[in-house]
Amino acid sequence: MDSDIDNLMGHIGEFGKYQMRQFLLHILAGGTAGVHMLSLVTVAATPDHRCLVDGVESAFNATYNDPDMRQYIPVVDGEFDSCHLYDSNNDTITCNQWVYDNQYYRSSRVIDWNMICDHRWMAAVSQSVFMFGVFTGAVVLGSLADRFGRKTIFCLSGLLQLILGVSVAFFSEYYSFLFMRYLLGIFGSAGAYITGFVLTMELVGPSKRTICGISFQASFALGVMLVALWGALIGDRVMLQVVYGLHSLLIIPHFWIMDESPRWLWSQGRIHEAVSIVERAAKINGQDAPDRAFYVSRGMSGMRTKEEMELNTPKAGIIDLVRTPNLRAKTLNCALNWFANSIVYYGLSLNTGKLLGNPYLMLFIVGLVEWPSYIATVLLMDRTGRRSLISSTMLLGGFACLLAVFIPNGKFLLVTFKGLNRYC
């Protein structure tokens, strides 16, 4: 019965030394997820570019800001047209060679494959494929974690995100690269992150779940800042991707030092293992050890009762979320909120390079500005409630987005409003 496992978990308290150690292991997955999710911002960055004027300049020594090229290339708002130049009749035509501004980016997937102008869809698809992998991983690996265990999926995802995160750097063919990005989305930003979150929620007491859950988002933001930091330090996109991938080494030791969820073990009838973990945790936390014989007896009895109930009760499924009007409305409302937040969050994050200024600094600030919002959320959520807090922050964030539309790029106020939106 559920009350039995709750009573058993009560022997280790809400949040002691044991939960802290396990939580610090779980939360590392949030940082690696942030690194993998935002890696294309630097690895496939799109620098300012213009057409190469063949016969006038050479691809080996051409510079982006050469003022003499203004007679050959249209100028729009003081900047070179990115995709057109003048022909001998002074008509505008498209070009097939480009000169890139190397002030910030000397190496990039976009530069290597010219994923610009008529081929800019290639860069967009690269990120879309990754996000589709995240969706796949959330659906598939979440179910597998219920079947095979949280720790099993967590560690498997950690190993695969290490292999995929490093090896994707060496793929020089576009469609093979897309396939690897899809797999990296499954394991690099969904598998370990989601299972790590669930492991924490099943281990800590109810009063600590808010701060622990939000800490996962803070860890993700730290991963975003690491993307910016390494991008500023490493100029070669191959080595940069390798470094991003190597962050997953942090998860490999978890196989030996991280415990399975006692709640999951209990639900699977592995009562002895669940009680053993709680006994060890209680000892570390300085709590009284549970009565092993009592809980094993209760667990075995509860499993027999559960099996009998399952024979006469249909299994719940995803369709039950939309079966009744009340639950259907709540499910669709939550889904819409996730959709709206995600499209704005990642839209701002993945386009920080469009802001004038040092793109690495802009990306670092984008990650940093989230931390005050998480602190505020921890302080307010349990006081104001979920509904009022999410409604007010979404309204404020939407208002900031609307105002940002009317502010010219390069203005400090634009960065402020975009930062406010990230905060919300």
Give the pLDDT mean for 126-131: 91
Q: Which amino acid is at 260?
A: E
Question: In Å, how far are 23, 142, 182, 202, 342 from 209, measured between CA atoms?
Answer: 11, 19, 31, 9, 22
Q: Read off the pLDDT of residues 36-64 as tens digits, 9 standing for 90 and up.
A: 999 999 999 989 888 888 888 887 888 88
Q: What is the pLDDT of residue 277?
A: 93
Domain 1-44+115-313 class in CATH: mainly alpha
Q: Which amino acid is at 58?
A: S
| Residue pair 47/111 in contact by the 8 Å Cβ criterion | yes
Q: Which residue has the tokens 């790590």?
A: 196
137 vs 408 pLDDT, higher one: 137
* Percent of the chain at pLDDT exceeding 90: 41
Burial 166-197 (b: 16+ CB within 10 A, else e): bebbebeeeeebbebbbbbbbbbbbbbbbbbb
Residue 74's CB is within 10 A of a number of other CB atoms, namely 16
Nearest-angstrom CA–CA distance, 280 and 9: 12
Mention every residue, 6+ apart, whose C-beta is less than 8 A from residue 158. 29, 32, 192, 248, 251, 252, 254
Q: Read off the pLDDT of residues 166-225 as tens digits, 9 standing for 90 and up.
A: 999 999 999 999 999 999 999 988 888 999 999 999 999 998 998 999 999 999 999 999
User: 65 by DSSP, 3-state: which?
Assistant: coil
Q: What is the pLDDT of residue 417?
A: 45
Mention every residue, 6+ apart, whose C-beta is less than 8 A from residue 308. none
Q: Which residue has the tokens 């053993």?
A: 276
Nearest-angstrom CA–CA distance, 213 and 372: 15
Query: Across the chain, what does the average pLDDT equal?
Result: 86
Give the tokens for residue 28: 């590392």
HSE at residue 196, side-chain half, CA atoms within 13 A, is: 37
Instruction: Using the Cα atoms of residue 71, residue 76, residue 77 and residue 78 in order, give the sign of their dihedral.
Output: negative
Q: Read off the pLDDT of residues 276-331 as tens digits, 9 standing for 90 and up.
A: 999 999 999 988 888 888 878 887 876 666 655 556 666 666 787 888 888 888 88
Give the pLDDT mean for 10-36: 93
Q: What is the pLDDT of residue 312?
A: 64
Question: In Å, how far are 34, 170, 173, 185, 268 from 130, measured between CA atoms?
Answer: 13, 17, 16, 5, 33
Residue 404 reports pLDDT greater than 60:
yes
Q: Read off the pLDDT of residues 354-365 as tens digits, 9 standing for 90 and up.
A: 667 788 998 898
Q: Read off the pLDDT of residues 318-330 as tens digits, 9 standing for 90 and up.
A: 787 888 888 888 8
Residue 368 reports pLDDT greater than 80:
yes
Name 94's bridge partners.
84
Q: Where are the domains of the chain?
A: 1-44+115-313, 49-101, 324-424
φ/ψ of residue 165, rounded to 5: -65, -35
Residue 23 reports pLDDT greater than 90:
yes
Q: Read off the pLDDT of residues 213-259 as tens digits, 9 standing for 90 and up.
A: 999 999 999 999 999 999 999 989 999 999 999 999 999 999 999 99
